[in-house]
Amino acid sequence: MASDATERLRAELRLIIRRNREAFEGEYGEQIKALLGLSRDQIDAITPDATDLAVYDQLMEVVKDASRKNLSAAQLRARIKALGTVAVAIAKKAGVLAALG
């Protein structure tokens, strides 16, 4: 018999997997794939420090969340812009903002 801790871990993993699947199957699945397609060198070219990687991670979460929730393109665009200029630069490099119209 599995322990309560093991069952909680399994439930948590199922939730993570479900949320990830929903993001890829949602409205912005292609934008998520485009962001994932960026190389480390492409991301590092935006800023010389580790800031761009932290912002890249935030940007990915924002796009995944928007995809899961099927937010409008305008809502996603506003959220990306709220993350700041580095996020906008990363999104442009991946073609995400252009794809939003």
Tokens representing 101? 């119209």
Domain of 17, in residue numbers: 4-99
pLDDT at 100 over 60: yes
> 3-state class of 46 per DSSP?
coil
State the pLDDT confidence band at 13, using cuts at 50, 70 and 90.
very high
Q: Please tell me the total count of domains within the chain.
A: 1
pLDDT tens-digit map of 54-88: 999 999 999 999 999 999 999 999 999 999 999 99
Residues 6-19, mean pLDDT to the nearest whole number: 93
What pTM value is reported for the model?
0.83
Does residue 26 have a pLDDT over 80?
A: yes
